[in-house]
Structure 1
Amino acid sequence: MNNNRKALSIFMRARMRPLSPTTFVCVNEQNRINQMQFPPIDGVRNGKVSTSQDASATLHTDVVRVQQSMHAAMSMNKTEILDVALDDFSEGYYGLPNENRRALLLTLAREYDLNRKQVRDLMKQYLGLELPSSDKPLENAHEGEGSFSAFYRIERNLRESLKPMYEVLFERLNTHPGGLRFLSIMRADILSFLAEENTAVLRALDSYLKEKLITWLSPANLQLHHITWDDSASLLEKIVAHEAVHPISNLLDLKRRLGMGRRCFGYLHPAIPGEPLIFIEVALMKHVAQTIQEVLWDDPPIPECEATCALFYSISSTQPGLSGINLGKFLIKRVIDVVRRDMPTISTFATLSPIPGYMQWLLSKLAPTEISDSTFSENLLTPEEESALLEATEYLLQEKKRGKALDSVGNFHLQNGAMVGRINWMADLSEKGIKQSAGIMVNYIYEVEHIEENAQSYFGDGEIGASDEVRSYLEPRQEDHQEEIKD
């Protein structure tokens, strides 16, 4: 190992010498990286720091050292030395403060991007080729092969040139021990920096890494795990730490959620053992629950043999770097399949979901109004409560962004193939529930035979499926609107 690190150190020092920039028309990704000049970071060039402050100089030197190992991780071919370079890069990156991570990621995004001059040259060559005339039959197969060989060659070169050089780094890290977790952390940093400053080169870096992660985290590469009280303490600690919807208050609360009448399932990846990437909590019930209190606090749970409904009441991700990668879609469908197989008495699959953006939307959009006539025959709600419930229906069914539901939780379930089944007043009395959605929660229904149909309608036309009960809440408002137009 020491010899490998010595060889790596010699290699990186050699790489620090400026290289003459060279443009290649057709070279593979490895040669392009080997030929490129080692890019500078602000205030740093060729390993020398141009600053008068020792502390700043140390920080810049650290960045240069990590950048050296990053470049080596893309340039090396010998397995033993490559492993050392990948280790040095990841360890060095972990040790950098945020401002230096940002500088390194900007360098990666800018200097290891694709070669656009090469792409343009290839496109010009491609556009300069003349297509064989379709009305003149080719005399033989060899003539056809010759006519298209130039197209095939340039198309192949274009495919290669359209790959950014940092793809090599991502691919190698993915197959390196601990590399997938590292890539997730790197992407979490990218997303954090983008939230502060929406930089085009970082957006491109994020988009490319996200597409890679989607491929590597396909359902075929994930393992469904039924999480129980008998799992390791470290795994259970992660469930407690990452529960994002209804915080777990103590060990008794955790044990209840994993015990009789309850299920918890998580997706694990072999490269990140002992840590679910995402997990879902399920309550086995006689009927679709209308309040979170009856799910979390009412005792005792019913005998499992009497359950007819599987209620999904919480789904949480443990990896911020996997944001936007819809693992939950596959997890819900897989859990439905498992529950149907193991418990044939269960025929209803539903959620009890929060409406996290509702109150913010309501307060910013609506002015105080009075309702003179009740639209509920039994007058169970006060006018203020009724107004909030009606506005929640409008928010869930009609408020959209880019043709899809404005509510993030709603958008998640609708794109998975669910429909809005029922809106429940005073369903979450916690401080968070009142603040986010005035205590209102939603039952999204997963009708197994209509899941794919609903998902296609939502993706294609933005159609939000809803029960007749939910749609009936909108009718008084629509009638009032029509009357206003007439007046």
Structure 2
Amino acid sequence: MLDELKSAARRFTDDRALRSLLLDCRRLLSERGEANSVAIAKGLVERLGSLPAEQQQPFFEHLSREFSPDPAAVLQVAQAYAEQPNADNLIRLTRLAEPPRQELMRRINRAPGGTASLVRMRHALLQRLPRQPELRSVEADLLHLLSSWFNPGFLQLRRVDWDSPAQLLEQIIRHEAVHEIDGWDDLRRRLQPDRRCFAFFHPQLPSEPLIFVEVALLPQMPAAIAPLIDKRSQPLGPSTYKVAAFYSISNCQPGLRGVSLGNFLIKRVAEELQREWPQLRCFCTLSPIPSLAAWLAREAEMTVPDTVKPAVRGRLIGAHALLQQQCGGDWSVLSQPARLAALPEDAQQALLRLAAFHLVHNTCGPQGDPVARFHLDNGARLERLNLHADLSRKGLKQSFGLMVNYLYDLDEVEAHHEAFVAGEVAHSRAVAKLI
């Protein structure tokens, strides 16, 4: 009985807190609220930051239902605009069609901590969307606003080095998503003279990196990741720097997923490095192929589009059959280092052929590799595939040890981007020969 009373009391308290929160949201949107917006918004930021997980769902549902446009009013003005498509009717339609919650979010953003609060709110929404797709409209409004507020023109590019604040260095270790940083010694090696780390920051989040990229300055294009992240390796001298290899890029703010940051970061860093080291002429990546193993596992029989030439089709089907035979129909055995190393040369070439086909022909489609899509859409060229390039557990599981170099030719990135948008993957002759 006592437990039931306590539970009822908690529900009553939670309901009252939620009603009070929604009332303040409406006050912030009112005319009187506009005059006192900073004070009200500050209170909302504090309350949203402490909102329990069980209250997030009803709060988001209220945002979706009660802070949406009035359908009847939108229809009326839309009909007026259809009959008379003049500037006045267009302005009225635009104002009425915009969800009131967008203005609510703008006013929350004016308060100290408002930007960070909205980024966290979108992260919580993204986690709920698979179970509550009806909240997509709220998430879309946040994405629309955050894409404007985190426009690269507002972002600050800063180099991260060993003298950076300890709090920032800890965040780099924590957020590294591609090649795990094994403690402070590992990080120190990644920040020595022949390495660079750059991050984007926003003025409203000055101590929190949004995204960062790690770069190795090398004499030649790298073919394997282990030498780049070996914390016992010795730094190279500046006279050897001819290639800048981007080997890791990590997002630090899950609430900014879908906001374009990485493409601008790579271009800005390339320009920064070229100013510091004019002898650099090659800007490339050493990138994983996270979709390769899963794609091959789905292909019980090799399916090749009708647009592919018969000779190429025959080579691909033969390569697929050869690899299937080598692994006994169980593709996962190729993630075992010993089995991978024991592959005969023709089977290794078969693996390269299938990987090249996957990257060139599938990247623009639904089965496309996300890393390939990122770099190719950013204007890079698919330059080279590398066997036995990542023998970590993750690299073996995802791509059977393969990695790829994407080349950023700063004079060609726009042309390559336009080609990718049109459905064409820019790739080198070496990659073409593999297929």
| TM-score normalised per structure 2 | 0.86
The answer to whether residue 51 in structure 2 is matched with residue 117 in structure 1 is no
The answer to whether residue 367 in structure 2 is matched with residue 433 in structure 1 is no
1:356 to 290, 302, 314: 290
Deviation at 1:393, TM superposition (A): 1.2
Q: 1:73-112 counterparts in 2 under 5 A?
A: 73-75=28-30, 77=32, 81-112=36-67
* Structure-2 change in CA distance of 1:105 and 1:296 (3 Å): same
Deviation at 1:115, TM superposition (A): 1.7
Which residue of structure 1 lines up, in the alignment, with residue 200 of structure 2?
A: 267
* Structure-2 change in CA distance of 1:395 and 1:116 (3 Å): same
Which residue of structure 1 lines up, in the alignment, with residue 311 of structure 2?
A: none
1:454 to 413, 416, 426: 416
Q: Measure the CA separation in 2 of the matches of 1:68 and 1:334.
A: 44
Deviation at 1:371, TM superposition (A): 6.3
1:385 to 345, 348, 372: 348
Q: Which amino acid aligns with 2:201?
A: L
Which residue of structure 1 lines up, in the alignment, with residue 113 of structure 2?
A: 178
Q: Which amino acid aligns with 2:150?
A: L
Deviation at 1:294, TM superposition (A): 1.3
Which residue of structure 1 lines up, in the alignment, with residue 379 of structure 2?
A: 417
Q: Contact 2:294 / 2:398 at 8 angstroms: preserved in 1?
A: yes
Deviation at 1:404, TM superposition (A): 7.1
Which residue of structure 2 lines up, in the alignment, with residue 473 of structure 1?
A: 434
The answer to whether residue 106 in structure 2 is matched with residue 154 in structure 1 is no
**Residues 128-180 of structure 1, C-alpha deviation per residue, up to 9 Å, x if partnerless?**
44x9xxxxxxxxxxxxxxxxxxx333222112112110111121122221111
Q: Contact 1:417 / 1:450 at 8 angstroms: preserved in 2?
A: yes
Q: Which amino acid aligns with 2:59?
A: L
The answer to whether residue 180 in structure 2 is matched with residue 219 in structure 1 is no
Deviation at 1:102, TM superposition (A): 1.8
Which residue of structure 1 lines up, in the alignment, with residue 358 of structure 2?
A: 395
Other structure's SS at 1:449 match: coil
The answer to whether residue 217 in structure 2 is matched with residue 245 in structure 1 is no
Deviation at 1:125, TM superposition (A): 2.5
Q: Which is worse superposed, 155-164 or 84-93?
A: 84-93
- What percent of counterpart residues are identical? 34
Which residue of structure 2 lines up, in the alignment, with residue 277 of structure 1?
A: 210
Which residue of structure 1 lines up, in the alignment, with residue 322 of structure 2?
A: 370
Q: Contact 2:121 / 2:255 at 8 angstroms: preserved in 1?
A: yes
Q: Which amino acid aligns with 1:319?
A: Q
Q: Which amino acid aligns with 2:89?
A: I
Q: Contact 1:118 / 1:161 at 8 angstroms: preserved in 2?
A: yes
Q: 1:249-328 counterparts in 2 under 5 A?
A: 249-297=182-230, 299-328=233-262
Q: Measure the CA separation in 2 of the matches of 1:350 and 1:456.
A: 19
Q: Measure the CA separation in 2 of the matches of 1:275 and 1:52.
A: 39
Q: Which amino acid aligns with 1:255?
A: R
Q: Measure the CA separation in 1 of the matches of 2:418 and 2:12.
A: 56
Q: Contact 1:396 / 1:405 at 8 angstroms: preserved in 2?
A: no
Other structure's SS at 1:420 match: strand
The alignment covers a number of residue pairs equal to 396
Which residue of structure 1 lines up, in the alignment, with residue 339 of structure 2?
A: none
Other structure's SS at 1:414 match: helix
Q: 1:177-216 counterparts in 2 under 5 A?
A: 177-199=112-134, 202-216=135-149
User: Which structure: larger Rg?
Assistant: 1
Q: Measure the CA separation in 2 of the matches of 1:65 and 1:278.
A: 36
- Higher RCO (CA 8 Å, separation ≥ 6 residues): 2
* Structure-2 change in CA distance of 1:118 and 1:78 (3 Å): closer
Other structure's SS at 1:281 match: strand
Q: Measure the CA separation in 1 of the matches of 2:262 and 2:395.
A: 22
Deviation at 1:293, TM superposition (A): 0.7
Q: Contact 1:73 / 1:89 at 8 angstroms: preserved in 2?
A: no
Q: Contact 2:41 / 2:110 at 8 angstroms: preserved in 1?
A: no
Q: 4+ residue stretches of structure 1 with deviation over 6 A? A: none
Q: Measure the CA separation in 2 of the matches of 1:414 and 1:279.
A: 19
Q: Contact 1:113 / 1:164 at 8 angstroms: preserved in 2?
A: yes
Other structure's SS at 1:101 match: helix
Q: Contact 1:66 / 1:88 at 8 angstroms: preserved in 2?
A: no
Q: Measure the CA separation in 2 of the matches of 1:441 and 1:347.
A: 22
* Structure-2 change in CA distance of 1:98 and 1:383 (3 Å): farther
* Structure-2 change in CA distance of 1:279 and 1:327 (3 Å): same
Other structure's SS at 1:290 match: coil
Q: 1:61-72 counterparts in 2 under 5 A?
A: 61-72=16-27
Q: Measure the CA separation in 1 of the matches of 2:253 and 2:323.
A: 45
Q: Measure the CA separation in 1 of the matches of 2:187 and 2:353.
A: 35
